[in-house]
Structure formats: C-alpha cells, structure tokens
Amino acid sequence: MSNSTRCAACKSLRRRCIKDCVLAPYFPPTNPQRFACVHKIFGASNTTKMLEQLPLHLRPVAADCMSFEASTRVEDPWKCWDKLSTPRTNN
C-alpha cells in the first residue's frame, strides 16, 4: 500500500504499510477506532501473530472476533468479570 492509503494499523503505529501487510484487509483506514481497540487489548504484535497463524479463510472471522471482544472490553472492562463471578443456577 502506498503511504497515502496506509491501513489503520500502520497509520496508528506510524509505519509504512507494505504491499502484503497482514493487518490491512481487516483494519481499513476508514475505521481507525477498530484497530485502536484491538491494539489496546491485544497489542499489535499479538494481533499480527494470531492472524498469521490462521488460514486465509479464517482471518476475517478472527479479526471480527478480536474487534468485538476488544471494543466490548474497552467499553465495559468489568462486563467479563461480572459474567464469570455471577454464580450459575440450575433450574
């Protein structure tokens, strides 16, 4: 990718977006908040490693899942803890 069309990840990390950037298809420049949340929760390196380990056909789903989990945790960090700490009742 050229410098003017860097993906949101490369723009956030202030680096050149290379032609085969792993993050570019899942973090477009039009939605920087998506990468910001994922970066805050998982980190750029971990996100890249997780996506690289998956087959190409599973990467979009994984990126969507990471984005959903990260934005949920940023929005309400205690939501996950509440669900874990609430005892289940068997009816």
Query: Tens digits of per-residue pLDDT, 70-87?
Result: 998 888 877 766 665 666
Secondary structure (H, E, C), the chain: CCHHHCCHHHHHHCCCCCCCCCCCCCCCCCCHHHHHHHHHHHCHHHHHHHHHCCCHHHHHHHHHHHHHHHHHHHHCCCHHHHHHHCCCCCC
Q: What is the pTM of this model?
A: 0.77
Domain ranges for the chain, please list them.
3-80
Query: Tens digits of per-residue pLDDT, 34-74?
Result: 999 999 999 999 999 999 999 999 999 999 999 999 998 88
